[in-house]
Structure 1
Amino acid sequence: MDDIKGRSLPETVLLSIRARNARKAKATPRKRVNDTEIVVASYNVHKCIGTDRRFDPERTARVIREISPDVIALQEADNRFGDRAGLLDLARLELETGLVPVPVSGNGKGHGWRGNVLLFKRGTVRDVHQLKLPGLEPRGALVAEIDLDEKRSLRVIAAHLGLLRRSRSEQARVVLDIMSSADERPTLLLGDLNEWRLGNRSALNTLHTTFGPTPPAVPTFPSGLPVLALDRIMGNRHGLVSGVEAHDTPLSRVASDHLPLTAFVHL
């Protein structure tokens, strides 16, 4: 979907319709080639409320099982107000998928940090940082250092950026500040970055110095007819991320207003 760069929203809609028709016509999504490939995903679960307006956490969990990720960043997985309780049955999800949450502190009844939950299937969490992002809305990011095995480690930044362009620009600079003070290990940026513009109009331009050239922007919103590429998976090394695509199934189209975004990581 690099073709949407610099185009108007109506043109983007037409290109998205054509791209979706092409996805329907092609074969099933590419499967994991070997055990060294890691399947990663980002999914805004919309508080487990589907496009049919039903609150259904089990349906959300079924979408996650469809993806079968090794690492997945969830957004809007907690109530935003009140006690901010987590909405998924994480114990059951662990039994069914092997996914466990990166531990966070000060979250009360919540699953994660400001609605961000980072789940991983295998490895050891070496370090976790919970960041408050600037802006009018209560946005945050999780930064986790995960040792996948004795030879491979991965830094994951899971974030949900703001609705205002100015806030997104400030929040992107915070992400760059993290990277400037960190070591050179492979790093992923996963999340709902709330920016559909590409090129010079994008509030995320500054990220390209560390995460560029970025993978193709794949529309994931709204889930029924994806037009806007709000969700992103980026890596700080050439060739680290490949096969970025929307997880577009009958179930995922109704489980949330976003489609999950998936990719393969090569370490």
Structure 2
Amino acid sequence: MLKVASYNMRKAVGTDRQRRPERILEVLNEIDADIVALQEADRRFGTRAAVLTPHLLSEHSDYQAVPVAIRAASMGWHGNVLLVRKSAEILACTPVHLPALEPRGAVSADVRLGRHTIRVVGMHLDLSGLWRRRQAKAVLDHLADGNPMPCVMMGDLNEWRGAGGCLKDFARDHAIAETGPSFHAQRPVGRLDRIIVSPQLTITDCGVHMSPSARVASDHLPIWATIR
């Protein structure tokens, strides 16, 4: 069994408008997932510095960041970060360029946890439905161009519809976890955050993490799934 989670952390700015990265780590420690996809983990302008500094991550969590950052001060690629257990082995990793009018990207890693190897993609898709579908195709093309292995895709898809659009594209050959609404954190109505798995994997349980800490740490609630 493997537990994964996805969290748009909004640069650690909570619903109280305070930037407190330690609250994000508190929420992640509550979830206790093996692999986490973060969105909006780097500041947007300037050096795009990481909000969760290496010191914070090392001292207050059991995670390591997958090293896909291109900018020296960043942790991820266009704000997308993958965290894995410190005990996990990162076999390969790469940023994934997505077609977009505004900066968008995804990150991909092959990770070994115990005797299991899995490919993970974290992404944050566009506000425009047309560009979301183009970006979904780019992610699926990336997965098709390489050795087939069990795969999890997760992130903030910005898709308000329950079906159609990019969800239709992902669901053609993959299963989408029924995690529930995750946005807005204080009154969740939108299922913007999604976890998607390849046919080799089975979703055994899933949900939205609704702890008091999660309701204030970001404007999104984290989602999670356990996978066999």
TM-score by shorter chain over 0.5: yes
Which structure has the larger Rg? 1
Distance 1:91 1:144, change over 3 A: same
1:242 aligns with 2:190: no
1:128-178 CA-to-partner distances (Å, cap 9, x unmatched) read 1211211111010111011212x3100001111111111101001111111
The residue type paired with residue 248 of structure 1 is: M
The 8 Å contact of residues 40 and 72 in structure 1, kept in 2 or not, is answered as: yes
Q: Supply the distance in 2 between the matched residues of 1:225 and 1:238 (Cα, whole angstroms).
A: 34
The residue type paired with residue 43 of structure 1 is: Y
Aligned length: 227
Q: Match of 2:134, SS? A: helix
Q: Supply the distance in 2 between the matched residues of 1:147 and 1:237 (Cα, whole angstroms).
A: 19
Partner of 1:78: 42
The residue type paired with residue 46 of structure 2 is: G
1:110 aligns with 2:74: yes
The 8 Å contact of residues 39 and 124 in structure 2, kept in 1 or not, is answered as: yes
Partner of 1:209: 172
Higher share in helix: 1
The 8 Å contact of residues 234 and 241 in structure 1, kept in 2 or not, is answered as: no
Q: Supply the distance in 2 between the matched residues of 1:203 and 1:105 (Cα, whole angstroms).
A: 26
Residue pairs, 1:1-267, within 5 angstroms: 37-121=1-85, 122-149=87-114, 151-200=115-164, 202-212=165-175, 214-237=176-199, 239-266=201-228
Partner of 1:12: none
- Aligned-pair identity (%): 39
Give TM-score, length-normalised by structure 2.
Answer: 0.94
1:38-88 CA-to-partner distances (Å, cap 9, x unmatched) read 221000000100111111111111111111121101110110111100011
Q: Supply the distance in 2 between the matched residues of 1:262 and 1:94 (Cα, whole angstroms).
A: 22
Q: Supply the distance in 2 between the matched residues of 1:165 and 1:99 (Cα, whole angstroms).
A: 33
The unaligned stretches of length 5 or more in structure 2 are none
Structure 1 residue 110: deviation in Å?
0.7
Structure 1 residue 90: deviation in Å?
3.0
The 8 Å contact of residues 177 and 225 in structure 2, kept in 1 or not, is answered as: no
Q: Which runs of 4+ in 1 moved over 6 A?
A: none
RMSD: 1.4
Give TM-score, length-normalised by structure 1.
Answer: 0.81
The 8 Å contact of residues 160 and 191 in structure 2, kept in 1 or not, is answered as: yes
Q: Supply the distance in 1 between the matched residues of 2:29 and 2:179 (Cα, whole angstroms).
A: 24
